[in-house]
């Protein structure tokens, strides 16, 4: 994909607890004084490092999510794009559905008993059903596809701009929000994850995860994973942070990136 430098908003940072590996994650919190819904009050999502597990280093991660206790991963690049369903240990890759060589896979998520997988520039979302990932009818959409998540009622799609589009299961647009921080729009939104009424978003070539209020588009907090990403970026600057999966049963947040060597698991303490 493309290359460019980035400007990053300056946010205050607080260090969180870490394990003996000395991994360090900073939690940035901002207080939003205007808006509606969640944005009226300051929120702090606390992270605690728990463990790590192997991640296939050949996987160019585009999407990551849990569905029925299994980890799924969408991997990109022309000629290599696929949807991966991990085995019960959530470490060993299992069933794989490879896309045609003409497709560059992007984000993926489960939604209303189906799994949907975006493509970058083909305007096509593939769909799968059942334990064997049987292909079923997907849908088309305009523009690029980057990240995808579901709130249970509708899909949320990022396309590399500051906009998040809300779609139905047929790809029809239901609405959109513009993501912003302190009055400034934030673009290059990538992989998405819906967690307890909030949208967690990667940003391309950014080492933070941004937490977005879906009612207003306001960023209420960012989580800085520079300490994890920097070791991978030293190998290849394309090894960017990109992969957020929430396991509601264990309350663990799984983090990885493109061609990273590991998944990292954090206990996520949600605001009351």
In this predicted model, what pLDDT tens digit does every residue of 152-199 receive, in sequence order? Answer: 999 999 999 999 999 999 999 999 999 999 999 999 999 999 999 999
157 falls within a domain: yes
263 falls within a domain: yes
11 falls within a domain: no
111 falls within a domain: yes
Share of the chain above pLDDT 90, in %: 82
pLDDT at 2 over 80: no
Alpha-carbon torsion (71, 206, 203, 107), positive or negative: negative
Question: Between 271 and 190, where is the model more confident?
Answer: 190
Distance, CA of 12 to CA of 243 (rounded, Å): 24
- Confidence class of residue 270 from pLDDT cuts 50, 70 and 90? confident
Q: How does pLDDT run across 71-114, given as a tens digit for each residue? A: 999 999 999 999 999 999 999 999 999 999 999 999 999 999 99
Distance, CA of 252 to CA of 265 (rounded, Å): 6
12 falls within a domain: no
Distance, CA of 125 to CA of 147 (rounded, Å): 11
Nearest CA to 70 out of 53, 94, 97, 96 is that of 94
| Mean confidence (pLDDT) of the chain | 88
Cα atoms in the Cβ-side hemisphere of radius 13 Å centred on 270? 15
161 falls within a domain: yes
Q: How does pLDDT run across 120-160, given as a tens digit for each residue? A: 999 999 999 999 999 999 999 999 999 999 999 999 999 99
5 falls within a domain: no
pLDDT at 237 over 80: yes
Domain hosting residue 195, numbered range: 49-269
Nearest CA to 118 out of 150, 94, 95 is that of 150
The encoded tokens of residue 231 equal: 């070791």
Lowest-pLDDT range of 7-16, 23-32, 211-220: 7-16
Number of domains in the chain: 1
pLDDT at 27: 52
pLDDT at 4: 34
pLDDT at 44 over 90: no
pLDDT at 32 over 60: no
CATH no. for residue 239? 2.130.10.10
257 falls within a domain: yes
């Amino acid at each position: 994909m493309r290359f460019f430098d980035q400007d990053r908003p300056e946010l205050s940072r607080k260090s969180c607890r870490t394990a003996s590996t000395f991994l360090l994650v900073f939690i940035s919190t901002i207080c939003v004084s205007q808006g509606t819904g969640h944005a009226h009050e300051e929120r702090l999502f606390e992270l605690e490092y728990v463990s790590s597990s192997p991640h296939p280093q050949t996987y160019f991660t585009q999407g990551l999510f849990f569905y029925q206790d299994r980890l799924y991963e969408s991997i990109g690049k022309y000629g290599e794009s696929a949807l991966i369903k991990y085995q019960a240990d959530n470490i060993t890759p299992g069933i794989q559905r490879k896309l045609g060589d003409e497709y560059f896979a992007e984000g993926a998520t489960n939604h209303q008993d189906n799994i949907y997988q975006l493509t970058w520039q083909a305007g096509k979302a593939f769909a799968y059903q059942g334990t064997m990932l049987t292909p079923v009818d997907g849908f088309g959409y305009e523009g690029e596809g980057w990240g995808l998540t579901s709130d249970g009622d509708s899909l949320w799609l990022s396309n590399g701009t500051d906009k998040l589009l809300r779609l139905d299961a047929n790809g029809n647009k239901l609405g959109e929000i513009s993501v912003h921080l302190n009055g400034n729009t934030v673009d290059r939104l990538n992989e998405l994850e819906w967690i307890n009424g909030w949208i967690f978003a990667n940003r391309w070539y950014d080492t933070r995860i941004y937490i977005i209020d879906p009612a207003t588009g306001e960023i209420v907090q960012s989580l800085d994973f520079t300490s994890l990403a920097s070791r991978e970026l030293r190998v290849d600057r394309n090894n960017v942070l990109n992969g957020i999966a929430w396991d509601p049963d264990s309350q663990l947040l799984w983090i990885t990136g493109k061609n990273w060597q590991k998944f990292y698991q954090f206990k996520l303490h949600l605001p009351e």
